[in-house]
Amino acid sequence: MNYDYSCDIVVGVGSGVVNDTAKILAALTDNDYIIVGTAPSMDGFASATSSMSRAGLKVSLPSRGASVIIGDTDILAAAPAKMLASGVGDMAAKYVSLCEWKLANIIIGEYYCPNIAAIVRRALDEVAANTEGLARREPHAVEAVMRGLVLAGIAMNYAGVSRPASGIEHYFSHIWDMRGLEFNTPVDLHGIQCGVATLLSLKLYKYIREIKPDRDKAIAYVSNFDKEKWFGELRSLLGRGAETMISAEAKDKKYDPARHRERLDVIISKWDEIVAEIDCLPDCAEVERLLRTVGAPTLPEEIGQTGDIVRRSLAATKDIRDKYVASRLLWDLGELESAAMVL
């Protein structure tokens, strides 16, 4: 019997995994894509990439962005509580991602668009303004979360990079996912993990805020950094997924002493500007209240991540992508291990 597998359009009904898979299928078949979101749980509805695992490494693969996104507020408001908590966690992460996008612009000259950042910030502010409504599962409040998640995906498409919606907090989540695949360790929903990691990231930036950059200390730290020893620790933490990250260093050269000194010069000369951007971050307690309102975990232990794993994960976040995030700034300042102790 012969079957005709041709189609005119790809339709996804669901959320994260369904959406990621359907977008790839749409790209492979060169068809338009429609997503009917059933839960406001993640920010991939409008993005043109799909989060997947390949050779043990979490990667974002090019896929087909949706032509139509449907979100019925009655359906979204009736989604499992954990799915809403995940969406709120993914939105809270934008506080950090927007800050880091600007810091990367200041320190390494990375492209930054204030207009795109403003789209995400306004959406984030709308979610925060609906905290009480979220606690009661009011449709208009849930709609604010869904709209924010969609706008975050649109912002990533406009920017051509994930910067407006993803920073070090996402890297913590990716590392925990990678460990789960390799060692069967605890894994939770992406947004749940991002919410917890957002609070960790805010603690890191509070620490950074109080640093007085010390050129001699930073240079000595980098001079004594044992790259091969670190690669061994990375393999211990992540297994086979570490190999791709280690190979990427040959291209990235973030550990090169000469490049470090160039960055350090910029960091020291623009420290007041860096601090001013960090000062725009919300207080950790404010974000914790938002997460607790929707029943989201706020502590690593609540999602099965021990203090030791959190600290080791922090060190690994600087290797998972070629993106300047808090852990790279801390490494450049010679403060990475000291900062880990606040987590």
In this model, does residue 50 exceed pLDDT 90? no
Q: What are phi and psi of 329, to 5 degrees?
A: -65, -40
Residue 59, strand partner residues: 52
CA atoms within 13 A on the CB side of 62: 5
Question: Could you read off the pLDDT of 247-257 as tens digits, one per residue?
Answer: 999 999 999 99
What pLDDT was estimated at residue 56? 66
pTM, two decimals, is 0.94
Question: Could you read off the pLDDT of 260-313 as tens digits, one per residue?
Answer: 999 999 999 999 999 999 999 999 999 999 999 999 999 999 999 999 999 999
In this model, does residue 4 exceed pLDDT 70? no
Question: Could you read off the pLDDT of 26-49 as tens digits, one per residue?
Answer: 999 999 999 999 999 999 999 888
What pLDDT was estimated at residue 53? 73
Token digits of residue 259: 């490049």
What pLDDT was estimated at residue 235? 97
